[in-house]
A = this chain, B = another copy of it.
Amino acid sequence: MKPEFTLKSVEVSLTPQRRFEEYLQSRGMRNTQQRRYLLDAIYASHDHFDADMLIDQLPSKGEKGYVSRPTIYRSLIEFVDAGLLRRFELDGRAVYEHDYGYPQHDHLHCTRCDTLFEFQSEELFAIRNQVAQDQNFRVSGHRLIISGICERCNRAPRRQRRKQDLI
């Protein structure tokens, strides 16, 4: 799924899979089938997703490629730690998106169709840094979510959530 509009790209030297292998090696962790299945599923598209969407995307119990729920939760934590995914909270659940090789950005959240739209703003970073400096605060990151109704839902007031989000 393509992003909703163009973002500046970022230089990347390794594939996410390769980078994760290095992360594993550096920590004495193991490159298991489950971790590979999960990375493949995650990088099969560019959508935002939560644990349940990832589970639905994977084969069912008994089939090849199945990964149990606890392992999925454990792996998501590892992927975030490895810098492959960013995590944030939306309506009380954890949502993930690609991080490695993907630029920092913020979101517009349509509360009607539940779609997340991305945007980048230099000015936002400038404000963030200025505010932090004023309070002698050492910034590690930020999260901005603008809520409202997207253009599509504005045009079609009674439309259901978008097909792509029902996966």
Least CB distance from A136 to B in Å reads 4
Contact of A89 among B5, B89, B135, B140 (CB under 8 A): B89
Cα A127 to Cα B150 with chains together (Å): 17
A25 interfacial contact with B, CB 8 Å: no
Contact of A132 among B137, B142, B146 (CB under 8 A): B146
With A89-B92, A128-B146, A143-B144 already in contact, the answer to whether A151 and B135 are too (CB < 8 A) is yes
Give A140's nearest chain B residue, CB to CB. B148
Residues of B with C-beta under 8 A to A146: 128, 131-132, 137, 139, 141-142
A149 interfacial contact with B, CB 8 Å: yes
A residues apposed to B, CB below 8 Å: 4-5, 89-92, 94, 108, 110-111, 117, 119, 121, 123-124, 127-128, 131-132, 134-151, 154
